[in-house]
C-alpha cells in the first residue's frame, strides 16, 4: 500500500443516526456497513439545495423551504444548455418577490455559464423558495444551487 493511503475508521453505533431530508449517512453496525436514508419535503439542510431545470418545466419551480433566521448565502445558476429565446429571464425568490435572492440582470439564460450572487437575505418566517423562468423556449437547461450561511 502506498505511504499516502490511509484507512478510515467508521464508528459502530447501536442506533442509526437520523439524517435530514434527502440525505444518506453511512455508519457501522454489528452486521457491517449500513446506511440511513430519508426522502421527504425538499427542505434545505445546512448545506442548501440543488435543483435541475429545463425549458419544459412549469414556472415557478420549487427549490425548497427557507429555514428560520438563517441567511441565504450564495445562489448559483448554471446554464448547461442555452435557452433559445434571448428575452428569457431567470430569477430566484419567493412569492412576495420573485427576484429577492437572484435578479435577472445577474445571469444570461442564452449563454452557457455559471452565474452566482451572495444574497445574504434572512427569512424571519418559513418561505417557499422558487426559480422563476419567464419566456417561451424550445431548448435550455440548467442547475440552481441555493446555500445557507
Report residue 103's pLDDT band, with 50, 70 and 90 as the boundaries.
very high
Domain 48-148 annotated CATH 3.20.20: no
What span, in angstroms and rounded, lies between the C-alpha atoms of 117 and 60?
A: 20
- Residues 33-92: tens digit of each pLDDT: 444 444 444 444 446 788 999 999 999 999 988 877 778 889 999 999 999 999 999 999
Nearest by Cα to 92 from 134, 56, 55: 134
The C-alpha cell 433566521 sits at 69
What CA–CA distance (Å, rounded) separates 122 from 66?
9
**Domain segments of the chain: what residues?**
10-40, 48-148
Instruction: Give the per-residue pLDDT at 50.
Output: 87
Amino acid at each position: 500500500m502506498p505511504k499516502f493511503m490511509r484507512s478510515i475508521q467508521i464508528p459502530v453505533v447501536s442506533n442509526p443516526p437520523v439524517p435530514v431530508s434527502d440525505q444518506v449517512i453511512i455508519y457501522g453496525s454489528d452486521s457491517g456497513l449500513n446506511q440511513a436514508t430519508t426522502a421527504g419535503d425538499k427542505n434545505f439542510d445546512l448545506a442548501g439545495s440543488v435543483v435541475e431545470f429545463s425549458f419544459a418545466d412549469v414556472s415557478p419551480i420549487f427549490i425548497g423551504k427557507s429555514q428560520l433566521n438563517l441567511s441565504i448565502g450564495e445562489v448559483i445558476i448554471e446554464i448547461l444548455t442555452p435557452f433559445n429565446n434571448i428575452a428569457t429571464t431567470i430569477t430566484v425568490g419567493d412569492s412576495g418577490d420573485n427576484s429577492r435572492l437572484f435578479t435577472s440582470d445577474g445571469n444570461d439564460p442564452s449563454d452557457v455559464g455559471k452565474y452566482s450572487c451572495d444574497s445574504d437575505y434572512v427569512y424571519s418566517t418559513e418561505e417557499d423558495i422558487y426559480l422563476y423562468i419567464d419566456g417561451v423556449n424550445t431548448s435550455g437547461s440548467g442547475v440552481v444551487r441555493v446555500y445557507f450561511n
